[in-house]
Structure 1
Amino acid sequence: MLALALVLILAAVAYFLVMTLVDVFPLNNVRDATRAQQRTEVAINAPVMALPALLLGLGAALHVPALGYAAGGLALLNVVGGLLLWWLPYLAGVSVPWATAGTGVTWAELHSRTYARTVTVLPRIGDRPRPNLEHMILHALMLAAAIATFAAAAAAA
């Protein structure tokens, strides 16, 4: 279970890096982001996404299951943040306050400029922003990683 959890965490990080840095339109819309914006997104999110792998591996090496549970908690917090950012506006019509921090635009405006032309498979709910396929895949990987991380921590306990 440890190996599966580590693979899923690192797969989510690798997928995030590719989707943030490599133009694979229409799956993503990296072409509208500057290199500085891409570097900032990677510098903020990649370490937070990779930290559960470090904690889980360290916990396994040191035989400290609490580190594995901390890794699972952080992985779960990461996926909850992503789900709140993308799914709350779609399902409830409410954006989280930090969705567009420092940009001076609403989530709906940012979404329409950045993600509206990417692959989206969900039906419309009024004029609400819809999660795109790129982020649905990322969230599925992150959720699977969080579940596997908790399972690995439990197996080590």
Structure 2
Amino acid sequence: MFISLLIVQIATILYHQLTTNFDFYPFNGIRHYSAKERRNEAWMNGIIMAIPIILTLTRMPLWIGISGLIWTLVLVGAILSWWLPYLTGVAVYKMSNNETWSQVYEKIFSQTITILPPIKNNPRPNLEHMILHILILSSATITLMYTFI
């Protein structure tokens, strides 16, 4: 189970880094980011996702449990930034450039691949992020299962 845990965690960070650094349009909308924004996204989230992997590599139950908590917090962030606006139309985060999440979504993600049906005019998670969120959920779930079962 430990190897499966590591594989899922590593797959999550690798997927994120690939989709953050390479343009796979219309799969992702990274072409609408500046080089600096791509770098910041890759570094910030890369570090956040690398920490649980490093903690897991210790093989110490306490650190693996903290790793599961970190993955859970990353999942909460994904839910708040993508799924809450999709399901309710309510955006929790304030964009740094005074744009609404709907405006940012329209500019960056509206032309990417989406498979979910529209709910009103709410921004829909695109396929790229749905896969990422499944990987994050898997990382959190498997890590917590490994720790507590």
Q: TM-score, normalised by structure 1?
A: 0.91
Work out the number of aligned pairs and report it: 149
Choose which of 99, 123, 135 in structure 2 pairs with 1:141.
135
Contact 2:65 2:143 (8 Å CA) reproduced: yes
Q: CA separation in 1, counterparts of 2:81 and 2:107?
A: 16
TM-aligned CA deviation for residue 97 of structure 1: 2.5
- Pairwise CA distance, 1:110: 0.1
**Structure 2 residues without counterparts, runs of 5 or longer:** none
Q: Tell me whether 1:118 sits opposite 2:146 in the alignment.
A: no
What SS is found at the alignment partner of 1:25? coil
Check whether the contact 2:81–2:93 (CA below 8 A) recurs between aligned residues: no
Distance apart, 1:68 and its partner CA: 1.0
- In structure 1, the gaps of 5 or more residues are none
> What is the root-mean-square deviation in Å for CA atoms of aligned residues?
1.1
1:67 aligned residue (57, 63, 68): 63
Q: CA deviation at 1:37?
A: 0.7
Instruction: Please state if 1:153 is matched with 2:147.
Output: yes
Give 4+ residue runs of structure 1 displaced > 4 Å after superposition: none
* Secondary structure in 1 matching 2:87: helix
Partner of 2:45 in structure 1? Answer: 45
Paired-residue identity, %:
36
Tell me the SS of whatever aligns to 1:27. coil
